[in-house]
Structure 1
Amino acid sequence: MAESVSREAAPAGETGAAVPHRGAVTACIVLAVVMQALDTTIANVALPYIQGSVAASQDQINWVLTSYIVAAAIMTPPSGWLAGRFGRKRVLLVSVAGFTVASMLCGTAQSLTEIVGYRVLQGMFGAALVPLAQSILLDIYPPAQRGSAMALFGMSVMVGPILGPVIGGWLTDHLSWRWVFYINLPIGVVAFLGISAFVGETARALRSRLDWFGFATLSIAIAALQIFLDRGEQLDWFASGEIQLEALVMAVAFYLFLVHTVTAGKASFVDAGLFRDRNFAVGMLFIFIVGITYLASLALMTPFLQSLMGYPVVTAGLVMGPRGIGTVIAMMMVGRLIGTVDTRILLAVGLALTAWAMWDMTGWTPDVSQQTMIVTGMIQGAGLGFLFVPLTTVTFSTLAPERRPAATGLYNLSRNVGSSVGISIVAALLTENVQANHADIAGYVTPFNRLLEMPAIAQAWSPWTAAGRAALDSVVTRQATIIAYVDDFRLLMILALAALPLVLLLRKGSGGGGPAVVVD
């Protein structure tokens, strides 16, 4: 993938000279990143409304989330090549414009096929925003100020998805679910105009070539994996010929990608030599697990609050919002601690906080108080704040600077794939476990159960009447659903704990793990 140096950024990055309109450039870049980051989760609380509007099943509606993430994951790695080949500013402007138009199309969608297709376009155009914005900020700030710039950038990347449910809930309740997409129009227009006016263009590497075979095989493998996970539970997994075909396509494409990566050398789409760096290899696995636990838990919270607890959409968004406060506070603390405290200790603290929050959620029932959910959410958000910047720091601290552009694309790819895989897995397990738990509980519900002889219970849940059986089935389904959520939260807790030993495999980079200079 081609690399290029910004004309307006080189003096600041190399000599420390002032950059014209640096504040305006930063504001426009951060605005574009926030727009893209918000759309990762802004549709979460609106999913039940979208589901009803486009007549989708519970399994199908999750495609609205995963299609966006998968498209972004696929298109992130070639963003560096696109910027080098066509110019960073041009690619950034096309990304902002395309993302904004795709958002408007999502708002006009009348069917599941349309909204999923438009979400794919959103993800494809939005994929380049994060890595290109990051590279611009690194270029226009001198080394002494990059820590602060990256802290601001990190907050825009991570707080956006957490505030998404709050904004999405308010828009859905007061206007319509379509406004969770229309809101991107004013943001996109301002970002586009600002980038046009203040961001300088970079040199173009007209002779650079993209490894199309490597890109195609990796894309096919990721897409097949996602379809396999999304459709598996619905089609009874390997009992279905479609699922068998998708598994075969995924395995063959991934095998071809690996063989090509190893044999193609420097011409490969992915630099295989990156994985010889222990910190980078461990960091890729680490961020994959973080991606699973982060967005999968948010995807579970929406139906838990709205469907199981009966919360209005605005209340659900407000209950989920304080996670952002925890993240911001933790990132401010981490910004002061990095450089003086071993980043591996900070990572262990972040995983411990995440695991504790998930453990607390395994005890939740529909009677859990809002205060408990808010406090636990803030702790979970703090765990994310302790993970994000330290993990990025230690992952790239032992890589040579010239290898970081390619490495950041893969790092972001791993996080996005982890997020989409996590959402699909917890959704499939939720559906499957509800059915299994319902069967287990129903085994104890017979006309001969002595509890059903109690007058109050016999009147409401009489197994001898149709109304009683319907009421009894509703209660059993509700209990089965509660247990299924607990099982999913427990799985996410186990994943967070399973990542703890990875901390021991990391080593300090040169400079002792100072301020992060690469944030994705």
Structure 2
Amino acid sequence: MSGVSSEDLSVPRRIAILAAVVLGSTLYATTLLVASSLLPQMQGSFAATPDEIAWTTTFNILATAIVTPTTGFLVARFGRRRVMIVCVTGFTIATWLCGQAESLEAIILWRIVQGGIGAPVVPLSNAIVLDSFPRHQAGLVSSIYGMTVVLGPVIGPVLGGVLAETYNWRWAFYMIVPAGALAAVALHFALPPDRAEPRQPMDWLGFLLLATAIACVQLVLSRGQRLDWFESTEIILEACIAVLAFYAFVVHCLTTERPFLNLRLLRHRNYALGLILVFIYGMVNFTPIVLLPTLLQQHAGYPDSIIGMIVGYRGLGGVIGFGLTLLIGRWDPRIGMSIGFGLLVVSGLWLMSLDLNAGVNLLLANSVLQGIAVGIIWVPLTVLTFGDLDSRDTPEGMSVFHLLRNIGSSLFISLSVTEIVRSSTMNYSRMMEMLSPYNRALLWPGTMGGWETETAQGLARLSREVDRQAAMIGHLNAFGMYMAVSGLAILFVLLVRGRRR
């Protein structure tokens, strides 16, 4: 099903459609960054560990990744207008329920619902905007749509951080509810009715096999550290299910007539390399904004309002990055991607030089640099990935493209949090071993400074400081992984074929 053609729409109707669609997709993009700035408060509220509270982000992204490829089937089955309105309405209700959550299990559940039911909003919004305007205005409309969607995540974390500091973290979710209700009403009146078209079949077996494989891998990475990896029967079982489900999915896609994902598209070199690069792009896109808030609040003493500002400045960098693509777009796309991933390497090295006394201006500058990098990468990456594909294969190829981007984000966040927990625990134990009456180095005058080990209060203070430093080392290791993966992407960029003139 699709709406009426762009020629049948008046100019005011087109503007109304653009405004309504932009509002809905901006709210969806904003929730991830808002939730990232709230992680420290939510962790304290639910008495959760760092790896447990990270599930509120990783499983949200995972739900988005799994449901996004079903957008085409849902539109063919129910129509763009109905799917868009239902998804925005359901997303708004799930957001309100996130604010109402009283347990870790509840917040994770509603974050999964929020990510899953809102997943079709972004790809569907882009398609509606392009189809509602004449083809010669596609560039202008895409720029307006892109800029507004990027600006939303700038404002959201800043305002959410202020509300969380003034009241509590729940109000950062509540502030999205009125805007979501307004977007649903606006979409109801702005979007034209759908025209009936032949329904397309859905490969449910392929979808369920892929969803099972992805979910089991995510569970292994999220719970492995806590359950001592393959010493746990649960982890072994989940790993076996993941391998078998993925094997069955590949065999099914290669043998069925209409598979859920057409693996034969991987014969195109740039498309295959583009999928690897977008997977890496997803890995480095959201990881810093999930790791930094907890470090800054719990171990560096930053208030929520400042943390929200630091996260929000990343969106400001994204606006600058998208603006720079107007200049860089005239060059070979490989140059733009190399510059973008190179800036991510620089930001990773910068993060690895931080300590617990890092100033606000330094963190803001690093956040802007990350935003500029991811903004520069996106357009040339998309151009090169789909440059050689037939236009008939673009919708299916785009669904895989976004699927891998979201999976990369979810998996790498879990890996990074696991490394932080593992490294922090190990370094805490090693450093505490040195704080012993048998360590003669501590007997020298001035070695201990203002620290004391003779009283229980002094030992407690010293233990807290060791815990802070161990956590900082864990985060530095995670930032090192972030930098290494960004550098690896540059090697894959060199393998991409240049765009044909």
**Contact kept in structure 2, 1:97 and 1:192, CA below 8 Å:** yes
Task: Give the counterpart letter for 1:73 in structure 2.
Answer: A
1:38 aligns with 2:30: yes
1:405 aligns with 2:395: yes
**Contact kept in structure 1, 2:300 and 2:356, CA below 8 Å:** yes
**Match in the other structure for 1:143:** 135
248-257 or 454-463, which moves further after superposition?
454-463
**Match in the other structure for 2:482:** 492
195-204 or 306-315, which moves further after superposition?
195-204
Distance 1:443 1:471, change over 3 A: same
**Contact kept in structure 1, 2:154 and 2:312, CA below 8 Å:** yes
**Match in the other structure for 2:300:** 309
1:69-119 CA-partner distances (Å, limit 9, x unpaired) = 111111100111110111111111110111111111111111112111111
396-405 or 487-496, which moves further after superposition?
396-405
- TM-score, length of structure 1 as denominator length: 0.92
Cα distance in 2 for partners of 1:157, 1:450 equals 60
**Match in the other structure for 2:159:** 167
Task: Give the counterpart letter for 1:199 in structure 2.
Answer: L
Cα distance in 1 for partners of 2:354, 2:78 equals 52
**Contact kept in structure 2, 1:348 and 1:500, CA below 8 Å:** yes
**Match in the other structure for 1:58:** 50
**Match in the other structure for 1:88:** 80
Distance 1:349 1:163, change over 3 A: farther
Give the superposition deviation at 1:405.
1.3
**Match in the other structure for 2:352:** 362
**Match in the other structure for 1:430:** 420
1:330 aligns with 2:321: yes
Deviant stretches of 4+, over 6 Å = none
**Match in the other structure for 1:248:** 240
Aligned counterpart in structure 1 of residue 404 of structure 2, from 402, 414, 425? 414
Note the 1:325-474 alignment, pairs <5 A: 325-338=316-329, 340-455=330-445, 460-474=450-464
Give the superposition deviation at 1:451.
4.0
Aligned counterpart in structure 1 of residue 285 of structure 2, from 278, 294, 300? 294
Overall identity of the aligned pairs, in %:
36
Cα distance in 2 for partners of 1:359, 1:215 equals 39
1:6 aligns with 2:10: no
Task: Give the counterpart letter for 2:203 in structure 1.
Answer: D
Give the superposition deviation at 1:204.
3.5
Give the superposition deviation at 1:275.
1.6
Give the superposition deviation at 1:5.
4.5
Task: Give the counterpart letter for 2:415 in structure 1.
Answer: I
Cα distance in 1 for partners of 2:192, 2:314 equals 36
Cα distance in 1 for partners of 2:148, 2:240 equals 39
Task: Give the counterpart letter for 1:75 in structure 2.
Answer: V
**Number of paired residues?**
501
Give the superposition deviation at 1:151.
2.6
1:152 aligns with 2:136: no
Cα distance in 2 for partners of 1:332, 1:285 equals 25
Task: Give the counterpart letter for 1:332 in structure 2.
Answer: G
Give the superposition deviation at 1:214.
0.3
RMSD: 2.0
Distance 1:150 1:505, change over 3 A: farther
Task: Give the counterpart letter for 2:383 in structure 1.
Answer: T
Note the 1:492-511 alignment, pairs <5 A: 492-509=482-499
Give the superposition deviation at 1:356.
0.2
Give the superposition deviation at 1:224.
0.9
160-169 or 222-231, which moves further after superposition?
160-169
Distance 1:157 1:277, change over 3 A: farther
Cα distance in 1 for partners of 2:124, 2:59 equals 22
Aligned counterpart in structure 1 of residue 276 of structure 2, from 277, 282, 285? 285
1:218 aligns with 2:215: no
1:353-397 CA-partner distances (Å, limit 9, x unpaired) = 111011011010011222221222211111111111221122122
Give the superposition deviation at 1:458.
5.2
**Match in the other structure for 1:517:** none
Cα distance in 2 for partners of 1:503, 1:335 equals 20
Distance 1:264 1:232, change over 3 A: same
Task: Give the counterpart letter for 2:109 in structure 1.
Answer: G
Cα distance in 2 for partners of 1:97, 1:191 equals 8
Note the 1:67-82 alignment, pairs <5 A: 67-82=59-74
Distance 1:178 1:399, change over 3 A: same
**Match in the other structure for 1:516:** none
443-452 or 239-248, which moves further after superposition?
443-452
475-484 or 144-153, which moves further after superposition?
144-153
Cα distance in 1 for partners of 2:70, 2:125 equals 15
Task: Give the counterpart letter for 1:412 in structure 2.
Answer: H
Give the superposition deviation at 1:19.
5.7
1:255-286 CA-partner distances (Å, limit 9, x unpaired) = 11111011113x11111222222222111111
Give the superposition deviation at 1:206.
4.6
Task: Give the counterpart letter for 1:419 in structure 2.
Answer: S
Aligned counterpart in structure 2 of residue 477 of structure 1, from 467, 477, 492? 467
**Contact kept in structure 1, 2:66 and 2:403, CA below 8 Å:** yes
Cα distance in 1 for partners of 2:226, 2:269 equals 39
Give the superposition deviation at 1:459.
7.9
* 1:269 partner SS: coil
Give the superposition deviation at 1:325.
2.0
Cα distance in 2 for partners of 1:506, 1:306 equals 41
For structure 1, the 5+ residue unaligned runs are 513-520
Task: Give the counterpart letter for 1:62 in structure 2.
Answer: A
Give the superposition deviation at 1:133.
0.5
Cα distance in 1 for partners of 2:52, 2:268 equals 40
441-450 or 219-228, which moves further after superposition?
441-450
For structure 2, the 5+ residue unaligned runs are none
56-65 or 484-493, which moves further after superposition?
56-65
Cα distance in 1 for partners of 2:370, 2:288 equals 10
416-425 or 268-277, which moves further after superposition?
268-277
**Contact kept in structure 2, 1:37 and 1:156, CA below 8 Å:** no
* 2:494 partner SS: helix
- TM-score, length of structure 2 as denominator length: 0.95
